[in-house]
A = this chain, B = another copy of it.
């Protein structure tokens, strides 16, 4: 049962580390984009619609890198191919 334990430990730790690291960049990037968007609206209120629309498309793009990390964390926790292999071959 040693192999299973090791795979489980590494999967748990990697799932957390990936999400933990992967939350730093997108959060900072989105915060910057939102901050600038508000400044832009204040400067040019008439373009609020265009600015907001561009902002949301951009935020979705930045968010995508956080979602990649979340996807990999979820795969490691709930659909780990290596874990499935070890389970199916038995101990």
Contact = CB atoms under 8 A, between A and B. Distances in A.
Contacts of A33: 31, 34-35, 38, 58
Interface string A25-61: 1111111111111111111111110111011111101
A21 to B, nearest CB: 3
Tell me how many chains of this kind the complex includes: 14
B3 A3 contact: no
Interface of A: 1-48, 50-52, 54-59, 61-66, 68-70, 72-73, 75-78, 80-83, 85-87
23 contacts: A2-B3, A2-B5, A3-B4, A5-B6, A7-B8, A10-B13, A13-B14, A16-B17, A18-B20, A20-B20, A22-B23, A28-B28, A29-B32, A30-B31, A34-B36, A34-B58, A35-B36, A38-B58, A41-B50, A68-B69, A68-B73, A75-B77, A77-B81
